[in-house]
Chains A and B, each alone.
Chain A
Amino acid sequence: MFRAIGYSIKQAFKQLVRNKNMCTASIFSITSMLLILGLFFILIVNISLLAQTTQSQFDSIQVYIKDEVSEEGIYEMRNKFERLSGVKEATIINKEQALKIMKSRWGDNGYLLEGLEDNPLPNSIVIKVENLEDADAVVTRIRASEGIEDIKYYKSIVEKLLNITSFIQLAGMIIIIILVIISIVIVANTVKLTVTAREREISIMKYIGATNWFIRGPFFVEGIIIGLIGSGVSVAIMSFIYKKIVGAFTQQAFVMFSISMVPHGFLISNLVWIFISLGVGIGSLGSILSMRKFLDT
């Protein structure tokens, strides 16, 4: 048994070296498929994260308080709001906190805010509702209170955003599934080319009395190795590209975006396992599928 496995591995490497061109072609097709897959994966993951953060940022009612209202007054208002039905929590964000949040959101560009003499931001109370549907009723009741400068809430925006992101997620999943199927077909065909090129070899092996698994073994291992190399290459390229993208977003004016991008290390360490299992799966499945015809008799 072990000798058989050892034999397969040894032969697989010999075959790889002796059929360099075919193997390069297979590796290339797996790599390019995984790259396209990876781009969609990154897109979907980031859009999901963006949707989540946006939702948590905007899924609240922001009540701006007039400057003349005293600190005690603000506390009273908060307690009153919190007791309203449908309200989950109400938090006070005073001028200084508001400025701090803004600075942190602007990230590296936060120094732009240093030049301000007066803090122009108002005190505010952020109200989270239990359900988005309750927001309208809550806003109507808050509006009746004294000392309120403005009320901002983004129900329609959040709803639209959720619709768009769930659509993109669905479309992305469908595209990924289609791509996986296409890549299995492509790899199966590439492997079939290598098998066809060795059809004679296989028929000779059968004449000498080789069992199907003995013939299949080296091709199977070869498929796994090709899958491993393909996924390794594509992870490396993906990692490089994603680092560049994150870097570009952080350095450029898209300050808001950079915060909600999935960290490079986290994404790549997940991608490694996905790619390796996909690559190995596609490679081994492709080799077994494409050999079926030749092992029938």
Chain B
Amino acid sequence: MIRFENVTKYYGSNRALSNINLNINKGDFVFLVGPSGAGKSTFIKLLLKETDATEGRIFLGDMEVTGLPNRKIPKLRRNIGIVFQDFRLLPKKTVYENVAFAMDILHIPAKTIRRVVPQALSLVGISSKAHKYPNELSAGEQQRVAIARSIINNPSVLIADEPTGNLDPDTAWEIMRLLTQINLRGTTIVMVTHAKEIVDKMEKRVIAIEEGRIVRDDMRGAYKYHV
């Protein structure tokens, strides 16, 4: 599903990623761990084509991300759902509108939107708050809205950038259950995280990055990255 071939990325003379080779299969649930500044954000930015690789090739499904013309970037991003640590909801839209917005972008008929959005809201368990604004919700509820938005168009990949970073442990586990549920429906999930406990308990594939290199790639791994 996601393939990195000899990818190197320089910012000026700083090397952020160095000769990364990586293959993530369809339906995988992968944790991306590592200290701050190790290159995790660069990894995501490259996948979203927010920045270009200095060397190497990146594939998403059968689409080559490297060398994709700028005008095709929106199309790429519609195949990738994203969830952020700080939720990034549109503050002036209601919960319902925030989720519907992701479908508006694709010019999906209003009738379909009216049918699908409530389903997504109920999947993430937030139906009762549909007409509230983001600032009226708790952090956990906001993250649920963000997740609903990220999966509404059935992306093949969901990237979660420290999705539990702003949540208390209980709420974090609720979000993890939700992500697992989404993963079981066949969506590939790449989660960047510092949450040791979560990584250790989930026993999923763990890719550890340090100083721009993959230092560990365990199929049923744990968080520890200084072995």
Contacts and interface: CB of A to CB of B under 8 A. Distances in A.
Interface of A: 3-4, 7, 18, 200-201, 203-211, 214, 297
16 contacts: A3-B107, A3-B109, A7-B104, A204-B90, A206-B74, A207-B77, A207-B82, A208-B77, A208-B78, A208-B102, A208-B105, A209-B74, A209-B75, A209-B77, A210-B74, A211-B71
A68 to B, nearest CB: 90
Given A208-B149, A297-B50, A214 B77 contact: no
A45 to B, nearest CB: 45
A203 B101 CA distance: 14
Contacts of B74: 206, 209-211, 214
Contacts of B109: 3
A257 to B, nearest CB: 54
Nearest to B110: A3
Interface of B: 48, 50, 71, 74-78, 82, 88-92, 101-102, 104-107, 109, 149
Contacts of B106: 209
Nearest to B86: A200
Q: With a 10 A CB-CB cut-off, give which of B74, B76, B78 has the most chain A CB atoms.
A: B74
A210 B73 CA distance: 9
B26 to A, nearest CB: 20
A205 B104 CA distance: 11
Nearest to B77: A209
Contacts of A214: 74, 105
B142 to A, nearest CB: 13
A201 B75 contact: no
A18 B92 contact: yes
A18 B74 CA distance: 27
B107 A4 contact: yes
Contacts of B92: 18, 201
Given A209-B74, A209-B75, A209-B78, A201 B105 contact: no
B159 to A, nearest CB: 10
Instruction: Kindly list the 5 A-B residue pairs having the minimum CB-CB distance in the complex, ordered from nearest.
Output: A209-B77, A209-B78, A211-B74, A209-B74, A210-B105
Contacts of B101: 205, 208
Contacts of B91: 201
Contacts of B90: 201, 204
Given A18-B92, A207-B48, A209-B75, A7 B82 contact: no
Contacts of B50: 297
Contacts of A206: 74, 77
A11 to B, nearest CB: 9
B57 to A, nearest CB: 21
B118 to A, nearest CB: 19
A18 B133 CA distance: 13
Given A203-B88, A208-B78, 19 more contacts: A3-B107, A7-B104, A7-B107, A204-B88, A204-B89, A205-B101, A207-B77, A207-B82, A207-B88, A208-B82, A208-B101, A209-B75, A209-B77, A209-B78, A209-B105, A209-B106, A210-B105, A211-B74, A214-B74
A206 B80 CA distance: 12
A200 B88 contact: yes
A109 B107 CA distance: 69
Nearest to B49: A297
Contacts of B82: 207-208
A181 to B, nearest CB: 31
A203 B82 CA distance: 13
A210 B76 CA distance: 10
Given A210-B74, A297-B50, A205 B105 contact: yes
Contacts of A208: 77-78, 82, 101-102, 105, 149
A210 B103 CA distance: 10
A275 to B, nearest CB: 31
Contacts of A18: 92
A4 to B, nearest CB: 6
A94 to B, nearest CB: 78
Nearest to A201: B90
Nearest to A200: B88
Contacts of A201: 90-92
A72 B102 CA distance: 94
Query: Counting chain B CB atoms within 10 Å of each CB, which of A203, A207, A209, A297 scores highest?
Result: A209
Contacts of B77: 206-209
A173 to B, nearest CB: 42
